Structure 1
Amino acid sequence: MKILKFGGTSVGTAENINKVISILDQQCKDTNIAVVVSAVGGITDKLLEAANLACNKDLDYLQKYDVIWSIHNSVIDGLFLNPEEDKLLQKQQDNLQEIITDKLNDLKSLLNGIYLINELSPKTKDKLLSFGEALSSTIIYYTLQSRKLDAALKNSQELIVTDSNFNNAIVNFEITNGNIQKFFESNTNAIVLLPGFVSKSIHGEITTLGRGGSDYTAAIIAAAMDADELQIWTDVSGMFTTNPKLVKQAAPIIELSYQEAVELSHFGAKVLYPPTVMPVLKKQIPIVIKNTLDPEALGTTITQNAKSTSDSPVKGLSNIDHIALLTLQGNGMVGIPGFSKRLFETLAQEKINIILITQSSSEHSICFGIADIDAQRAKEAIDKIFEYEIALQKIDPIVVETDLSIIAVVGDKMKNHQGISGKMFSTLGKNNVNIRAIAQGASERNISAVIHKNDVKKALNSLHEQFFEIKTKQINLFITGVGNVGERLIEQIKQQKAYVKENFKINLRIAGLSNSRHMIVNDEGINLKNWKTQLENGEKASLDGFFQHAKNLNLRNSIFVDITANDAVANSYGKYLKESIAVVACNKIACSGNIEYYNELKQLSRQYNTSFLFETNVGAGLPVIDTLSHLITSGDKVNTIQAVLSGSLNFIFNNFNSETTFYDVVKQAQEEGYTEPDPRIDLSGIDVARKVLILARESGHAIELSDLETDNFLTDAAMKAVSVDDFFETLKTDEAYYQSLFKSAEDKNCQLKFVAEFNDGKAKVGLKEIPEGHPFYNLKGKDNIVMFYTQRYPEQPMIIKGAGAGADVTASGLFADIIRIANN
């Protein structure tokens, strides 16, 4: 014999009830089945709403009643299509309609009575709520009859006997088991339909079994009959590794043990209610959770000795929301027995359920989690019971924290694996999820943590990625500045996304894009096929707005990528780092500006355990800063740095000669993207000065930009030009001067190079005549070169050379920093 239970969603519409009937028709061919049904989806809540309105003398209860009436009649109409073509079918529908109308009239009379006496007692509430299951089971029974299935309808109130604890009655199993066994021994029908949730007291009063009551009804019957299997049919395909509404990658768990199922259910997995398991656990009857909307799906099987279908000792993650954390603390608690007893007795008297408990080993504090709706009542009761100790300042008034949630990691085999808690807490820590309390049972089957409610989605996604996914790490990018370099970076991400995921197990996803005019954000990831159109139609750009989006989305492994040359953007890095959002920047302003801000960003990166990388600040995609960092970390010391750090200036002086004009070469460099839109930024040497300053700081020297010596080769007229156009005009006017620079170098068989130098704590930049044979002499095109003279490389320097300018190589440098963070 099998027991099947169908929840409210499964019987919520005529379409779903037809699916239920198909399942019953299939299963009753193999064995007799008992079928427990819940009220039509949403009806229990609507009954309570109507009753509360009536109790408050609000005539809107009649409108709620009309909605209830309409829902049930709509279901009937959907189940009995075209009854006029079949007289028997018409008669069956008429009979059903008459019975349902009588029941609904009784419901209306009860609501009218509540309205008149202005009271809703627990006893009346149970009577009221029993209508939901009575109506649904009656409708389904008559539908089964109309489909010529061998079915009987049995009122569960005639079988399940309880005490008079209304709203959450306790079952008398001795009487109940006898009633169930006696009925089914004499029953010959293939299908027995029963309303869930409802029961009667030993005195004949209507009672209900409380939360999860329909599941409990099915479990009671299964245990009494030693059923082969208890099936729980719902709207999801079993219990999932975590909440699929919060974690897209969540997958059904094929097998669970009873204990694992209880733990997951207790901590928020709503598919199963913990007391349901208890009657069948004693008899070791398998529980199978199936999907009414997808009956072919495997679902989840719950048994005593479930087999593991994965290598992970963790079976699932779950969460409970709307939690308050209460802390009783004080020096007067230490070494004094009885505090815990008084505390928990007080909560028991108030009928407040404790979800989580943790106590410090010093006995200085006891911390416990409860539903937040009970928090104020708990505080008042506890403060009152400890009023004397509080007055003597032996303990503090109870401390209440709200807006919290509990997340739990569950698995039978966790106790046999070292490092589970370490992985859990390090994963949460890396994603800036603050933990308020921790609890772990002696069985080591469950590790629970209290966190802020806003961090739940990020926490579950991070932990699911850690324990269940094929070590694929999702990276969420927020990119500001999508000009030439930004566009190339997006294209590289689009092109390499599949390769990086397959080979490095990194899933790159752009969650936000912004330029100076518009911005777009999507927590599911922006479709890169038409990102330009989306951005053009996005909301108005705002630096703070973009940051708030990144903060509020609270996505795991987030990285802010700055591809601008904007001061305000650079000044926002600290806000991102404080939210544990890593920063990747090709913008040099932050690292070459005020030394205090540079140090602050470094400190924030360490404090919040998040990366701040800026490899492209020097040498575009060349590994200059990374190499320098490795030298310093390994204990080497930089003595001297010599470098050509401007690809644009190198391009200009490599192409400038007596047969070209300086104007033409600079214009070409601008048009090909080697210089900033305003070439003076490059030609003035400020860009090179910033780069060597950054290298000096990364070498451990605290110097400011103002400390650098700059040998400016531009004319006064060029530097004082009001606009870019005026600047270009000065190049034409002063062509003879620029030719003289070239002629001087040519006469000495030298090449003009704009060189950065750092030596003995001092830095300078300027145009130099480089003789033949020098490493800089043959530097071609837009290449950069950096020479590090260190204690380990005192005579022959470490040299890094390659393309140091251009959108593609800069984008690849940003890409490399992103991957570096992802691999951290």
Structure 2
Amino acid sequence: MKVLKFGGTSVANAENIQLVKNIVQKESSSNYLCVVVSALGGVTDLLLDSVFLASQQKEAYQETFQLIEKKHLEVVKKLIPVQQQSSVMSFLKRELNILETLLEGAFLIGETTPKLLDKILGYGEILSSKIIHSYFTAEGISCAYKDSRELIKTNTQFGRALVNFEITEKNLTENITETETQVYLMPGFVASSLAGDSTTLGRGGSDYTAAIVAAALDAEVLEIWTDVSGMFTANPRLVKQAVAIEEISYQEAMELSHFGAKVLYPPTIQPVLAKEIPIHIKNTFLPAEKGTLITKNTNGKNRPVRGISHIENISLLSLEGPGMVGVPGISKRFFEVLSVNEISVVLITQASSEHSICVAVASEDAAKAKEALDQSFAYEISLHRIQPVIVEDHQAIIALVGDNMKSHQGLSGKMFSALGKNNVNIRVIAQGASERNISAVIKKEDVKKALNTLHERFFEENIKQLNLFVMGVGNVGAKFLKQIQQQKKFLKQNFKLNVRVIALSNSRKMYFQEDGISLKNWEENLTKGEKADKELFFEKVKAMNLRNSIFVDNTANEVIAMSYANYLKNSISVVTCNKVASSSAYENYAELKQLSREYNAPFLFETNVGAGLPIIDTLKNLIASGDKVTKIQAVLSGSLNFVFNNFDENHEFVDVVKQAQEEGYTEPDPKIDLSGIDVMRKILILARESGYQLELDDIQNQSFLPEECLQTKTVEDFFTSLATHKDHFNQLFESAKQHNSRLKYVAQFDNGKASVGLEEIPQQHPFYNLEGKDNIVLFYTERYVEQPLIIKGAGAGADVTASGIFADIIRIGNY
């Protein structure tokens, strides 16, 4: 004998019931079955609404009743041929008339009782089971109907009746046997007292009915058919990477069910546990999938953590005060008050100092609990020995579950470390003596991030997902996205990094896709986006609250640079090629570095100096290892190096600058490069990263541009001015040529002072042979005294800048 239970989603409508029929038909070909069914989808809620409205003497209950009636009649008409409808229609009309009378009674007296409520709520299962039985019979299935109210006997604790197992088992074994009848069908949830009054088995009662039947009949297996393919490693609606657990122990399943895994109602396991009857969770809509088998023992494939679950809508209650220390009976009084007021405690923690007690309860009970506790401890509160109860709402509990957790060291550390890196604040921690469960209370808003973070840590072979929010998709940004697309598979296989772009924005449009934007057609998606708004962009990133979030700034926009603090304060890492923030007022630069440390959110800007060259990273390593920078000499502008390497007697200076602009080596406004401000920012950043407090105004700028060029307002005027002053630039070239030197724009930092300017570099100098758009940096330190540490290579261009940004992303991934 097998016992099959079909939940509300499985019998929600005629189409779903047809799927149920197919499953039963197939299984009954080789097995005797007892099938337990829930109410049609949504009917129990409609019954609750109707009785509530009736008890409030609101005539709208009649409309709700009509919806209930309509729903059942429609299912009959769709499932059962007209010539075979008469008996079931007669039954429905008779029972619906009784239901209407009961609701009318509640309306007339303006109240309801637990006894009346049980009678009304049970109609969902009674009506659905009769319809399904008639449908099975019409389809040729050998099916007998059994009324659970006649078989399952309880006490009179209406709303959550306690089963009399001795009488119930006797009734079931006498009435359900392996005979000519291949299928027995019965309603779940409902039962009756010894006096014959209708009772119900509480929330999840249909699961419980099926377990009671399975235990009484010594069933081969209890199959729970629902709308998901088993118990998952985490809630698949919140964690897309969650997978079904093929096998799990009773204890693990109970823990996961208690902590919010709604596939299974925890008390369901109790009746079958003693007889070690397996429970198989299956998907009505994908019956071929394996589902989850729950048995006595499983090795868990050596995984210490079998699942991650959570409960939302939790409130913390804290009782604190010096008057608790060393006073016997405080805890007894505390929990007695909650018990008397029928408030269930979900989690408990108490400081060893006895200074406080903290419990978690359902949010709906928090106000009631506070009032009762404050009243009970009113005397101590009046003497200021104990503080009034503190309530913290909008909390949630997350839990790691696994039988093998007790034999693995460091699981708690891994759990809390992973959450801490994503700035998920843990308010309360609890671990049972069995070590099968580690629970933590966090903010409700952090649940999705926390679940995904822990799932990544314990189930995804340490593949780390990075979620990118990209501002700026121009020359550099487009190259960056192309590189991500090309390397995505490589990063996942070799670095265990899954890089997803969640948002894109340019100056006109922004586009968000929480599951990740396809980089094959990102331009098309961006055109479909909403109007760009820097503040709204940040608010959306913040609201998504994704783990390992990284804001990528590919712009040169000052307003965007000034928003970095907002991202860092929300534990969102920042990667940028925008030099404005790191070369702004030292106070702002220092604050960003501090926020990065405080909120565990890396702030990386390797491309601020030398594009893709590892200049800043090398400098950081020098400082971290205890070295001290004494002097820096550098050619830091790839664009200026390109200009002066290509400027000679055969080319006009203005034409070379235009060429540099066209090839993307300068900013859109080349004056930014030629004025020296860009190089000033770069040497300033290097000085600051070396540990010196400098401002941009402290740097001496020996400009080679005539004043008239510097005063131009537009790019066109700037080029005109360069052409006008061609003799000035020719003289610079001739002077260098006469001295057997080459023109290089050099940045220097020495003894706390910095300067930038055009210099004539002699042949023996390391800068002399610097070609194309290359950069070069010479670091003189306490270790590199006479022979400097030299870094040299391409220092401009969209491709190398994009690769530098990409390298920073990988650094965060390996963080």
> TM-score per shorter chain, which class?
over 0.9
Deviations 1:96-132 (A, max 9, x none): 1111111111111111121111111111000001111
Correspondence list, 1:454-533, <5 A: 454-533=445-524
Code of the residue aligned with 2:26 in structure 1: it is Q
Code of the residue aligned with 1:315 in structure 2: it is R
Given the alignment of the two structures, is residue 249 of structure 1 paired with residue 241 of structure 2, yes or no?
Answer: yes
Given the alignment of the two structures, is residue 60 of structure 1 paired with residue 60 of structure 2, yes or no?
Answer: yes
* Structure 1 counterpart of 2:105, from 98, 109, 113: 113
Tell me by how many angstroms 1:187 deviates: 6.0
Deviations 1:329-352 (A, max 9, x none): 111111111111111111111111
Equivalence for 2:142:
150
Given the alignment of the two structures, is residue 23 of structure 1 paired with residue 14 of structure 2, yes or no?
Answer: no
Equivalence for 2:228:
236
* Structure 2 counterpart of 1:406, from 383, 393, 397: 397
Tell me by how many angstroms 1:796 deviates: 1.2
Tell me by how many angstroms 1:29 deviates: 2.7
Equivalence for 1:86:
none
Code of the residue aligned with 2:176 in structure 1: it is F
Given the alignment of the two structures, is residue 204 of structure 1 paired with residue 164 of structure 2, yes or no?
Answer: no
CA distance in 1, matches of 2:178, 2:652: 108
Code of the residue aligned with 1:375 in structure 2: it is A
Tell me by how many angstroms 1:30 deviates: 2.4
CA distance in 1, matches of 2:327, 2:712: 82
Given the alignment of the two structures, is residue 784 of structure 1 paired with residue 768 of structure 2, yes or no?
Answer: no
Aligned length: 815
Deviations 1:416-463 (A, max 9, x none): 001111111111111111111111101110011111111111111111
Equivalence for 1:360:
351
CA distance in 2, matches of 1:441, 1:186: 43
CA distance in 1, matches of 2:91, 2:176: 25
Correspondence list, 1:744-763, <5 A: 744-763=735-754
Tell me by how many angstroms 1:470 deviates: 2.2
Code of the residue aligned with 1:72 in structure 2: it is H
Equivalence for 2:526:
535
Given the alignment of the two structures, is residue 123 of structure 1 paired with residue 95 of structure 2, yes or no?
Answer: no
Code of the residue aligned with 1:409 in structure 2: it is L
CA distance in 1, matches of 2:693, 2:443: 39
Equivalence for 1:165:
157
CA distance in 1, matches of 2:626, 2:506: 41
Correspondence list, 1:97-496, <5 A: 97-185=89-177, 188-309=180-301, 311-496=302-487
Q: Pairwise CA RMSD of aligned residues? A: 1.1
Given the alignment of the two structures, is residue 701 of structure 1 paired with residue 692 of structure 2, yes or no?
Answer: yes
Equivalence for 1:660:
651
Code of the residue aligned with 2:480 in structure 1: it is L
Unaligned 5+ segments in structure 1 are: 84-89
Equivalence for 1:823:
814
Correspondence list, 1:3-82, <5 A: 3-81=3-81
Tell me by how many angstroms 1:225 deviates: 1.8
Greater CA deviation, 262-271 or 141-150? Answer: 141-150
Deviations 1:146-190 (A, max 9, x none): 122221111111111111110001111122222222223596522
CA distance in 1, matches of 2:332, 2:414: 35
Equivalence for 1:549:
540
Code of the residue aligned with 1:244 in structure 2: it is P
Given the alignment of the two structures, is residue 624 of structure 1 paired with residue 615 of structure 2, yes or no?
Answer: yes
Correspondence list, 1:569-584, <5 A: 569-584=560-575
* Structure 1 counterpart of 2:727, from 733, 736, 755: 736
CA distance in 1, matches of 2:185, 2:527: 59
CA distance in 2, matches of 1:697, 1:505: 33
Greater CA deviation, 20-29 or 726-735? Answer: 20-29
Tell me by how many angstroms 1:33 deviates: 1.5
Code of the residue aligned with 1:278 in structure 2: it is Q
Code of the residue aligned with 2:127 in structure 1: it is L
Deviations 1:183-211 (A, max 9, x none): 23596522111111111112221110001
Give the SS at the match of 1:792: coil
CA distance in 2, matches of 1:78, 1:785: 79
Tell me by how many angstroms 1:567 deviates: 1.4
CA distance in 1, matches of 2:562, 2:716: 30
CA distance in 2, matches of 1:191, 1:529: 54
Any conservation in 1 of the 2:80–2:134 contact (CA below 8 Å)? no
CA distance in 1, matches of 2:311, 2:490: 38
CA distance in 2, matches of 1:163, 1:787: 87
CA distance in 1, matches of 2:757, 2:645: 16
Code of the residue aligned with 1:301 in structure 2: it is L
CA distance in 1, matches of 2:501, 2:116: 55
Unaligned 5+ segments in structure 2 are: none
Tell me by how many angstroms 1:638 deviates: 1.1
Given the alignment of the two structures, is residue 585 of structure 1 paired with residue 576 of structure 2, yes or no?
Answer: yes
Tell me by how many angstroms 1:527 deviates: 2.0
CA distance in 2, matches of 1:62, 1:677: 71
CA distance in 2, matches of 1:54, 1:801: 82
Tell me by how many angstroms 1:537 deviates: 2.8
Tell me by how many angstroms 1:55 deviates: 1.4
CA distance in 2, matches of 1:511, 1:38: 40
* Structure 1 residue runs of 4 or more that deviate by more than 4 Å after TM superposition: 185-188
Correspondence list, 1:80-91, <5 A: 80-81=80-81, 83=82, 90=83
CA distance in 1, matches of 2:564, 2:141: 69
Deviations 1:361-412 (A, max 9, x none): 1111111111101110011111111111111111110000111111111000
CA distance in 2, matches of 1:467, 1:250: 11
Code of the residue aligned with 1:619 in structure 2: it is G
Tell me by how many angstroms 1:515 deviates: 1.4
Equivalence for 1:648:
639
Name the % identity: 60
Code of the residue aligned with 1:79 in structure 2: it is L
Query: How high is the TM-score relative to the length of structure 2?
Result: 0.99
Code of the residue aligned with 2:73 in structure 1: it is N
Code of the residue aligned with 2:635 in structure 1: it is V
CA distance in 1, matches of 2:271, 2:809: 53
Tell me by how many angstroms 1:497 deviates: 1.1
Code of the residue aligned with 1:197 in structure 2: it is F
CA distance in 2, matches of 1:342, 1:187: 57
CA distance in 2, matches of 1:469, 1:366: 37
CA distance in 1, matches of 2:143, 2:707: 100
Any conservation in 1 of the 2:32–2:178 contact (CA below 8 Å)? no
CA distance in 2, matches of 1:601, 1:401: 31
Query: How high is the TM-score relative to the length of structure 1?
Result: 0.98
CA distance in 1, matches of 2:108, 2:499: 63
CA distance in 2, matches of 1:724, 1:26: 78
Code of the residue aligned with 2:7 in structure 1: it is G
CA distance in 1, matches of 2:111, 2:781: 87
CA distance in 2, matches of 1:518, 1:729: 34
Give the SS at the match of 1:591: coil
